[in-house]
Amino acid sequence: MGKFGFAQKLKSLFGIYKSESDEFYDALTDALIEGDTGAATAVTLVDDLQKICREEKLSGREQVTQRLFLMLKEYVKQTSLEVQEGKVNVFLILGVNGVGKTTSAAKMAGLFKNKNVPVIMAASDTFRAAAVDQIALHGERLGIRVVKHQMGSDPGAVVFDAADACRAQGGGLVIADTAGRLHNKENLVNELKKIDRIASSKADEGCYKKILVVDATTGQNAVRQAEVFNEAVGVDAVILTKYDSTAKGGCIISMGKELSLPVAYVCTGEKYGDINSFDSETFLKEFLEMEQA
Ligand SMILES: Nc1nc2c(ncn2[C@@H]2O[C@H](COP(=O)(O)OP(=O)(O)OP(=O)(O)O)[C@@H](O)[C@H]2O)c(=O)[nH]1
Ligand SMILES: [Mg+2]
């Protein structure tokens, strides 16, 4: 099977396709759900698709797939994270434990360093043992400055100091790692709100981005996580990790449809270079196995 099991399934579904029958559309709904698109999203999407195809008299594999592509394009959005020169830019990295926050923070730090942006990493996961060391090691390898405090100290204070250091050097980018695990959700949300207040007050206007990291292998859980973080502090962009470990991509569709969250990067491995800007058209054409232009 190729990258997306869904595309194969879609192809075979056209074997039972008849323009006036529900059978194809029911099977399409199932295939989307299996591909990690949430049930609610899949049902609405396919209902709309069937209606539109009937109204516009579209039929057959090419026309129906093309229409589905156009509908999905409405949901799946991309965004690119820009840094304003000479300003204090802060990227706050959010996400539950183990999704790849620290790794993604380091990858992004590398990307922006290569664009000659002065980058500082803030070791604001002060909760987990060894988290500070982990980011310090990335800093050493990448040649990037890391602002850190002791384990157990206030994570907001780390962001505060990193932003001051950034301003003192004439601006740049602070990438702040956070802890994904606190004793309970309420604790986590309160902690995040505190860091959020500090980061937003320290960054220059329009230069603060909250970036949620989700693990593609967790499917619909990723969407639920996005909902929680979006409600708690708001999310500006998503990074999808571990895309090398799954053939499914439907959670991107649900996140777009249900929460209107755009994707900035997709990560496909543990190395610094395993990060790519997200392009919605390329993603969808791959998802549907359409010809690439
Ligand atoms: N295959 C693969 N592994 C990844 C990717 N991104 C991160 N990882 C691995 O996932 C594991 C967890 O990554 P971390 O960056 O430590 O995750 P985290 O969210 O910071 O974890 P906590 O700080 O414990 O909450 C590590 O073994 C990473 O190497 C990816 O895109 N693909
Ligand atoms: Mg971490």
Spatial distance between the Cα atoms of 238 and 81, rounded to a whole number of angstroms: 10
Please tell me the predicted confidence (pLDDT) of residue 289.
80
pLDDT of residue 2: 45
Q: Is the CB of 126 under 6 A from ligand 1?
A: no
Distance, CA 242 to ligand 1 centroid (Å)?
8
> How many whole angstroms from 178 Cα to the centroid of ligand 1?
13
CB 109 within 8 A of CB 269: no
Closest-lying ligand to the alpha carbon of 99? 1
CA–CA dist 57, 54 (Å, integer): 5
The crossing angle, in degrees rounded to 10, of helices 220-232 and 185-202 is: 60
Whether the model clears a pTM of 0.95, i.e. scores above it, the answer is no
Phi, psi of 124 (to 5 degrees): -90, 10
Q: Is 215 in the pocket of ligand 1 (CB under 6 A)?
A: no
**Ligand 1 pocket: which of 94, 124, 213, 270 to mutate (most atoms within 8 A of CB):** 270
The bound ligand whose nearest atom lies closest to the alpha carbon of 240 is 1
DSSP letter at 276? Answer: E
Q: How far is the CA of 57 from the centre of ligand 1 (A)?
A: 47
pLDDT, residue 124, reads: 95
E strands, the chain, in order:
88-94, 119-122, 145-147, 172-176, 208-215, 237-241, 263-267, 275-277
Phi, psi of 193 (to 5 degrees): -60, -35
Q: Which ligand is nearest to the CA of 104?
A: 1
Nearest to 95 by CA among 230, 5, 220: 230
Tell me the average confidence (pLDDT) per consecutive run of 10 residues in the chain, 293 residues long.
Answer: 67 80 90 90 95 93 92 95 98 95 98 98 90 96 96 94 98 95 75 95 98 93 93 95 85 93 96 96 87 64
Provide the pLDDT for residue 293.
58
